[in-house]
């Protein structure tokens, strides 16, 4: 197998990051909070999905998760101990506005007020994400993201959050990985709400874009002038299997569906024309109304970038399959209009998720973004790896593979900065082992090991290693 467009590995020397580079870690509400029915919180689409037999491995749910709702102070103390400069967390929409309509529940907001106050007391910058996939179930019952009303409801929720926390939180993210929400949630069905309708997936993508734009406006209307507003995208770094024109066209198709469906309207004010042509047999895109694109195209202070592994594609023959795209197995594709594209496992070592370990993809991706969107700062809002971690008889968790993974990707970030990319920060995914969506508790991404029966937290060797990098801004030599 020939993989095109690879770059040489970065040297294994010590590297110093720019002064002021932001070092943090990240989590998501449904994955860690638990307390699923406390203080007014009502079900989200992930509560419903996880409680549906056969959807999540071992029947796991986020009902308890890592119990962060009750162990908040302990977790903030851990962040301080590790020397983190920032913490990226998400707000649970059904905890703040249980039905997706009406006034906020103050007990829900109080949890986040206390969290932010404790972070600030420890000199940890709070970075709040409005939406990390936990749509209130009542809004899904009314049609979910394929419906325009959900975007409008999202803007109202953003206003509630900004009114409550805007005096404390200066950095905001509207959406986390809207590609997953749209195409895994409504296309392949491997994420909540588990629908399998390609047209609904495309409609959801547009209304997530619209919700983003409306939320940016709501935030700007309420936040201080020095506040920063962003969006986080899981930009796919797509490579062709071979250097043929057919495989190059496969890259173009997937790039349109994975990346440009969001970067086009959000950052350039227009959808790519080739996306319309590729999906013309499915929809005429008439759900894009006059005036939508200017609403979506809002100025941003930075772009959040999530990266784990590259994507390799080719033109499909009659045996082409989507099962190697890294996003879970389904009889339904998350790639509407791309039936003639096949996905391939990249070469080399993999994580416990089966994802290829390839820092060069992050380097190439950052260089591309810097070229495509000059003047827009970038922040790595998620990067990390799952491995089969365990506590040894002495109670220690040694994870050298994770240290090697993170070090390689930080070296790629540093090289991208040297090459001219304006990268301002890095958030390790994840602070804690947690509920890993359809994989339940079977995959461990955390820098901190969680013993799920007791809730005990044990910083892994990688946490101590990352702590030193965060404190010094120096990536040590191997």
- Phi first, then psi, for residue 115 (nearest 5°) are -60, -50
Residue found under tokens 């349109």: 256
Distance, CA of 240 to CA of 311 (rounded, Å): 9
Please give the structure tokens belonging to residue 96: 């703040």
Q: Pick the closest to residue 169 from 113, 207, 211 (CA basis).
A: 113
Task: Please state the three-class secondary structure of 31-90 as a single string.
Answer: HHCCCCCCCCCCCEHHHHHHCCCCCCHHHCCCCCCCCCCCCHHHHHHHHHHCCCCEEEEE
Distance, CA of 129 to CA of 135 (rounded, Å): 13
Which one of 33, 140, 315, 382 is the catalytic residue? 382
Distance, CA of 140 to CA of 359 (rounded, Å): 37
Coil, strand, or helix at residue 97? coil
Coil, strand, or helix at residue 441? coil
* 38 catalytic residue (yes or no): no
* 118 catalytic residue (yes or no): no
Distance, CA of 357 to CA of 69 (rounded, Å): 33
Please give the structure tokens belonging to residue 141: 């019952």
Q: Tell me the Cα Rg of the chain.
A: 21
How big is the chain, counted in residues?
Answer: 478
Coil, strand, or helix at residue 127? strand
Coil, strand, or helix at residue 148? helix
DSSP letter, residue 424: E
Distance, CA of 140 to CA of 147 (rounded, Å): 9
DSSP letter, residue 259: I
Angle (nearest 5°) at CA 386 between 232 and 134: 45
- Phi first, then psi, for residue 87 (nearest 5°) are -135, 120
Alpha helix (H) residue ranges in 193-351: 198-222, 245-255, 261-263, 273-278, 292-296
Angle (nearest 5°) at CA 244 between 238 and 248: 35
- Phi first, then psi, for residue 348 (nearest 5°) are 100, -175
In the chain, what is the greatest distance between 2 CA atoms, to the nearest angstrom?
A: 63
User: 323-338: buried (b, 16+ CB within 10 Å) or exposed (e) per residue?
Assistant: ebbbbbebebbbbbbb
Which one of 147, 177, 315, 436 is the catalytic residue? 177
**How crowded is the C-beta side of 319, counted as CA atoms within 13 Å?**
1
Which of the residues are catalytic?
A: 177, 382
């Amino acid at each position: 197998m020939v993989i095109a467009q690879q770059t040489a590995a970065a040297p294994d020397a010590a590297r110093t990051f720019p002064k002021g580079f932001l070092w943090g870690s990240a989590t998501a509400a449904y994955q860690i909070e638990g307390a699923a029915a406390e203080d007014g919180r009502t079900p989200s689409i992930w509560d419903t999905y996880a409680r549906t037999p056969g959807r999540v491995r071992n029947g796991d749910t986020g009902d308890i998760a890592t119990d962060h709702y009750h162990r908040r102070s302990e977790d903030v103390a851990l962040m301080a101990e590790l020397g983190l400069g920032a913490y990226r967390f998400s707000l649970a929409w059904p905890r703040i506005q249980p039905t997706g309509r009406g006034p906020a529940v103050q007990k829900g907001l109080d949890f986040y007020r206390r969290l932010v106050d404790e972070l600030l007391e420890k000199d940890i910058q709070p970075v709040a994400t409005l939406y990390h996939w936990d749509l209130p179930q009542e809004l899904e019952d009314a049609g979910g993201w394929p419906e325009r009303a959900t975007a409008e409801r999202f803007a109202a929720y953003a206003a509630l959050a900004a009114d409550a926390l805007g005096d404390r939180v200066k950095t905001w993210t509207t959406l986390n990985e809207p590609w997953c929400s749209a195409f895994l949630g409504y296309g392949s069905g491997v994420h909540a709400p588990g629908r399998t309708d390609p047209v609904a997936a495309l409609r959801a993508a547009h209304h997530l874009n619209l919700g983003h734009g409306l939320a940016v406006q709501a935030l700007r209307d309420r936040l201080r002038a020095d506040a920063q507003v962003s969006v986080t995208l899981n930009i796919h770094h797509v490579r062709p299997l071979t250097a043929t024109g057919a495989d190059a066209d496969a890259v173009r198709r997937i790039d349109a569906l994975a990346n440009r469906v969001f970067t086009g309207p959000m950052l350039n004010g227009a959808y790519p024309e080739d996306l319309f042509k590729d999906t013309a047999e499915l929809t005429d895109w008439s759900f894009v109304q006059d005036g939508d694109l200017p609403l979506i195209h809002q100025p941003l202070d930075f772009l959040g970038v999530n990266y784990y592994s590259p994507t390799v594609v080719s033109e499909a023959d009659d045996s082409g399959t989507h099962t190697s795209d890294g996003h879970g197995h389904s009889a339904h594709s998350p790639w509407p209009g791309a039936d003639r594209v096949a996905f391939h496992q990249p070469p080399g070592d993999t994580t416990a998720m089966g994802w290829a370990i390839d820092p060069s993809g992050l380097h190439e991706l950052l260089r591309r973004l810097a070229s495509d969107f000059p003047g827009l700062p970038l922040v790595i809002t998620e990067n990390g790896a799952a491995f089969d971690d365990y506590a040894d008889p002495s109670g220690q968790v040694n994870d050298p593979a994770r240290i090697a993974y993170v070090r390689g990707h930080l070296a790629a970030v540093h090289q991208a900065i040297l090459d001219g990319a304006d990268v301002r920060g890095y958030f390790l995914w994840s602070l804690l082992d947690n509920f890993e969506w359809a994989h339940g508790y079977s995959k461990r991404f955390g820098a901190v090991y969680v013993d799920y029966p007791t809730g005990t937290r044990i910083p892994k060797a990688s946490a101590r290693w990352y702590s030193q990098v965060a404190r010094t801004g120096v990536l040590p030599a191997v």
